[in-house]
Amino acid sequence: MSRERVDYGRRHGQHGDLWVPDGPAPELGWPVVVVLHGGFWRAMYTKSLMTPMSADMIDRGWAAWNLEYRRIGTIPSGGWPGTFDDVGAGIDHLATMAGEHRLDLGRVVTVGHSAGGHLALWAAGRAKLAADAPGAGNLLLRGAVGLAPVADLVEANRLGLGGGVVPRLMGGTPEQHPERYAVGDPAKLLPMGVPQVLVHGDNDGAVPLSVSRGYVERAMAAGDPATLVELPGVGHMELIDPASQAWSATVVHLRRLLA
């Protein structure tokens, strides 16, 4: 396997680890999983959270692009709009790397955990954004997978998730900045026309299962192909452990999306 740190921008935090399997690539190139870590968008949490998962992916024949991005706290310009700009730019940077690393840009899926799940789902709706919106771009996704995702920012704000962190991400409440939430909240971008899979444990003390249930209900009502995988007895962090049954349940859907 190869693991290479790649800068996709010049600002602090604009980099990622590109993991590529060993051996000859398939005829069309390696399918790609864009990996987005959680931590309620706070600077103290980094892409290292997703290193074990990324290593597992290349063993399955998938390239993994484990993105870092500007976050709120000690990272300058994190939150709105920097976090969204970074994730969009990081995904679009795959086009720059595709030739050298034999990446199949027709098979790109996002996978994110918690706050990263919010970003993974949001990225699936980028095609609906205006050209000048934060994070706008044109690399289309085959699908998006949210692991205990903060899928609905308005609901997350109502529940006070992460100690009331959502207004810090968005620079204010939904009432103060409805135009930002209209662009940055995946629940506001439905329907996306992209398959979405949400995997959530019913013993999650950080992001309640009800958030994913409500999101999937709205996505399906809007006509999107959305799936909710509920895992009995599973908490928040088991979902990113590649040795867990929770990860095995996720892999089933990744295979389907990347086929």
Q: Is 7 helix (H, G, I), strand (E, B) or coil?
A: strand
CATH for 28: 3.40.50.1820
Per-residue pLDDT of the chain (259 residues; tens, 9 = 90+): 689 999 999 999 999 999 999 999 999 999 999 999 999 999 999 999 999 999 999 999 999 999 999 999 977 889 999 999 999 999 999 999 999 999 999 999 999 999 999 999 999 999 999 999 999 998 999 999 999 999 999 999 999 999 999 999 999 999 999 999 999 999 999 999 999 999 999 999 999 999 999 999 999 999 999 999 999 999 999 999 999 999 999 999 999 999 9
- What is the spatial order of strands in the sheet that 103-113 belongs to? 2-7, 15-20, 63-67, 30-36, 103-113, 143-147, 196-201, 226-231
Strands 15-20 and 2-7: antiparallel
Whole-angstrom distance, CA of residue 205 vs CA of residue 202? 9
Residue-range definition of the domain harbouring residue 107 = 2-258
Q: Quote the number of domains for the chain.
A: 1
**Residue partners of 246: CB distance under 8 A and separation at least 6:** 199, 201, 231, 234, 238, 239
Q: What is the pTM of this model?
A: 0.97
